[in-house]
């Protein structure tokens, strides 16, 4: 039961970034998305991934590996569409 809640929580906080990626991709606009937020968040997720690798925790590695990828895509979009919207 506890494990299931943890897995659902991890899945939700990971897949949450998919609609944000899709929205920026479609609108080509990321003006309202905070660059500082995604810089701090990406760095934090990278450290969670390192933590997961060091503690050999597969769920932590899987969730943060996917989140890191999505977060990097948003960061790339944010920088790419920065001039177009500032």
Contacts to a second copy by CB under 8 A: 2, 5-6, 8-20, 22-24, 27, 29-34, 36-41, 43-45, 47-48, 50-51, 54-55, 85
- Closest to a second copy by CB, 44 or 65: 44
Q: Measured from the CB of residue 76, what is the shortest distance to a second copy in angstroms?
A: 15
Nearer to a second copy, 29 or 79 (CB): 29
What is the C-alpha to C-alpha distance for residues 20 and 13, in angstroms, rounded to an integer? 12
The whole-angstrom separation of Cα 11 and Cα 31 is 27
User: Min. distance of Cβ 85 from a second copy in angstroms?
Assistant: 8
Are 45 and 71 a contacting pair, CB within 8 Å?
yes
Alpha-carbon distances of 62 from 7, 14, 36, rounded to whole Å: 11, 10, 25
């Amino acid at each position: 039961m506890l494990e299931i809640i943890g897995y659902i929580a991890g899945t939700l906080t990971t897949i949450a970034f998919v609609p944000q990626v899709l929205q920026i991709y479609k609108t080509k606009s990321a003006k309202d998305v905070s660059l500082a937020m995604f810089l701090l968040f990406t760095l934090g997720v990278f450290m969670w991934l390192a933590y997961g690798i060091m503690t050999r925790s597969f769920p932590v590695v899987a969730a943060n590996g996917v989140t890191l990828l999505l977060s990097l895509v948003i960061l790339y979009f944010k920088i790419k569409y920065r001039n177009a919207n500032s």
